[in-house]
Amino acid sequence: MKDLIVVATITAKEGHEVLVREALEKVVPPSRAEAGCLRYDLHIDLGNHASFVMLEAWRDEAALAEHETTPHFLELVKTVGGKADIQVLKLNQVSLG
């Protein structure tokens, strides 16, 4: 089975940029420590400092589902709820050959 790749784009609403960034930074270390986490990296858009991209890789969909029930993830959702626009892509690599 191929790893599950997640690309989450989080754009803070005006006035909430610092709060959203701090909440995202806080969730990285405990997420990386999860057994099913292969990658969990936070990036900022150089052209828009209110826009962040989280690049994630998970062992499988079950690992991601478990992540979404953890206290640190639920705290992130609670903290940024209504203060950011969020788009999530869940991807698998296409086999060529």
| The pLDDT of residue 1 | 56
| The pLDDT of residue 84 | 98
| The pLDDT of residue 95 | 83
For every one of its 97 residues, what pLDDT tens digit does the chain have, with 9 covering 90 and above?
Answer: 578 999 999 999 999 999 999 999 999 999 999 999 999 999 999 999 999 999 999 999 999 999 999 999 999 999 999 999 999 999 998 888 7
Residues 6+ apart with CB under 8 A from 2: 92, 93
Taking the whole predicted model, whether its pTM rises above 0.85 is answered as yes
- Give the domains, in start order, of the chain with CATH numbers: 4-91 (3.30.70.100)
Report the C-alpha gap between 72 and 52 in whole angstroms: 18
Report the C-alpha gap between 53 and 41 in whole angstroms: 8
